[in-house]
Structure 1
Amino acid sequence: MARIQLDGVGLEYELVGPSDGPPVVLTPGGRYSKDIPGIPQLAQLLAERGLRVLTWDRPNCGKSDLHFEGASESGMQAQFLVKLIHALDIGPATLVAGSAGARISLLAAHEDPDAVAKMMLCWISGGLVSMMRLGSYYCCEPAEVAALQGMAAVAEMPIWQQQIEDNPRNRDYMLGYEPEQFIAVMERWAWGFVPATDTPVGNWTDADFSRLTMPVAILRGSPRDLYHPGQVCEQVAERLPNAQLVDPPWDIDIFAERMRDGKGLFSDFPMLADQIAQFVGS
């Protein structure tokens, strides 16, 4: 494990694999840490295949610091991903990500295309139901608790417990906000989940998609996945100039299955090892 300070924000990360191997960055979704089951195992498998693999705790995740800045949470995390790639001198890197991690990777590639060699993405969030649910969970519910009960109650919400347990300074950071300040942050971040009717990702235009000229492999999704509808993956693949849809090594309904059985949303990611290694080497 290692820690780095970037613009005053502490980030936990780990690098495994040969120092001269092609660099790969793994980013899970939600506010899950880099240690969520499946991600460390995938990193080790890729390292055994000669790749240099970075796993990291995004701001507001795991042992990294809380950081309530930026126009959107995903956009802020994308900016820190680019800064981390440069600080560790591992660019251009292949970004491998799922769910919120896929959104962050797209934004990072848009922020600095030269830092990204390729991307392999799955479970791209989109659609009205998905965005309304995610915006409510990540922004509206914490704002409501702050308004009705204050910041001490926000710090007790389950969504923040791992971050505070793993990094007790995060509680002090959170309590340093007045409810009105925190509500303003949540209001601002909630706009990042408001879907447009004519584009699958945020408010991206054709010009935004055209910036991402690197090879992109997008794993097919399921039409039954309300959080990451399969058609969103298809629409993103259609708009990117150098993207292809590929079959995942699992059943396309695996996300819903893992939601039901509680085995861990990323527990199947080690199955991607060979596919990633081949993609990086192609």
Structure 2
Amino acid sequence: MAEIEVNGGRVVYEFVGPEDGQVVVLTPGGRFSKDYPGVRPLAEALAAGGKRVLLWDRPNCGASDIQLFGRSESHMRAETLGLMLKELDTGPVVVTGGSGGARDSIIFTMMYPELATRLAVWSIVGGVYSTMSLASVYILSELRTVRSKGIEGIMEMPGLAGSWPDLIAANPRNKDRLLAIGAGEFERVMNRWLDAFVPKPNEPIPGVSDWEFEGIRVPTLIIRGGVGDFDHPKRTSMEVHCLINGSRLIEPPWPEDAWESSSAARDAGTGNIFDPWVQAAPVLLDFMNEPDEISAA
């Protein structure tokens, strides 16, 4: 594990796989760490296929520093990744991610087209229910808390894995960083980030307009969302497929109800939401290893 400073904040990262392998960035969803169950098995499967996988704790995830800037939280993370890759001198990379990591990966590819050779995404968030649900999980509770209890209340907020107290526990620097940000700036940023989660007819995914997808011009693989997956609707993966010229939409390599089943397993303490991801390794490796002329066909 290593650290690098980007935009005044430290980012924790590591590489998995052979040093001479093609670099693949793997980004999980939510505010979950690179060490969240289910992420590393996919990284190790890709590494076994000869890839050098970059795992990273995005800002506001895992052991990295808390940061608050940018048009949305995903735009902030995309900028962080771009600057980090330039500093690490990786050259262009294959960009992959699921759930919120799919959104981060899509935006990164739009912002840094020179750093992406291919894009593969799955479990894409979109639609009214999913988008408003994220507003509730990541923004609205924060706004209510900071307005009533100040920044000290934010540091004590209960929540899902990846809550602000979790970030402080994983990285004690984050307590001072939150105090330095203060209640006023925290509230201003949350209000700006909230806009991405207001459903809009011209935004198939939160905070990204239809026209912006024209900026993705690399071979793109999209794994279709499950029929009953309200958090990552089938419709959204099909909309994104329609908007990315030349993209390929494939059937999921896991059971149709994988998200619902893995969510139930997490709640029962018998599994985790990203456990099915490792099943995508074969199709991802096939996609990464295709000649460019086949991917562009």
Once the 2 structures are TM-superposed, how far is the Cα of residue 56 of structure 1 from its aligned partner?
A: 0.2
Once the 2 structures are TM-superposed, how far is the Cα of residue 115 of structure 1 from its aligned partner?
A: 0.6
Mapping for residues 19-34 of structure 1, pairs under 5 Å: 19-34=19-34
Q: Is 1:272 matched with 2:285?
A: no
**Aligned partners of 1:186, 1:62: CA distance in 2, in Å?**
20
Mapping for residues 1-282 of structure 1, pairs under 5 Å: 1-158=1-158, 159-202=163-206, 204-262=208-266, 263-282=271-290
8 A Cα contact 2:226 2:252, kept in partner: no
Once the 2 structures are TM-superposed, how far is the Cα of residue 195 of structure 1 from its aligned partner?
A: 2.1
| 3-state SS, counterpart of residue 12 of structure 1 | strand
Identity %: 38
| Alignment deviations for residues 164-204 of structure 1 (CA, whole Å, 9 cap, x no partner) | 11101101111223322211111011011122213412464
Kindly report the root-mean-square deviation, in angstroms, between the aligned alpha carbons of the 2 structures.
Answer: 1.4
Once the 2 structures are TM-superposed, how far is the Cα of residue 103 of structure 1 from its aligned partner?
A: 0.4
| Alignment deviations for residues 13-64 of structure 1 (CA, whole Å, 9 cap, x no partner) | 0012122211111000000000011211221221121111100000000000
| 3-state SS, counterpart of residue 181 of structure 2 | coil
Once the 2 structures are TM-superposed, how far is the Cα of residue 237 of structure 1 from its aligned partner?
A: 0.3
**Aligned partners of 1:206, 1:56: CA distance in 2, in Å?**
28
| 3-state SS, counterpart of residue 20 of structure 1 | coil
Structure 2: gaps spanning 5 or more residues: 291-297
TM-score (ref. length: structure 2):
0.91
**Aligned partners of 1:74, 1:88: CA distance in 2, in Å?**
21
- The runs of at least 4 aligned residues of structure 1 exceeding 3 Å deviation read 202-207
**Aligned partners of 1:205, 1:36: CA distance in 2, in Å?**
30
Structure 1: gaps spanning 5 or more residues: none
**Aligned partners of 1:219, 1:63: CA distance in 2, in Å?**
29
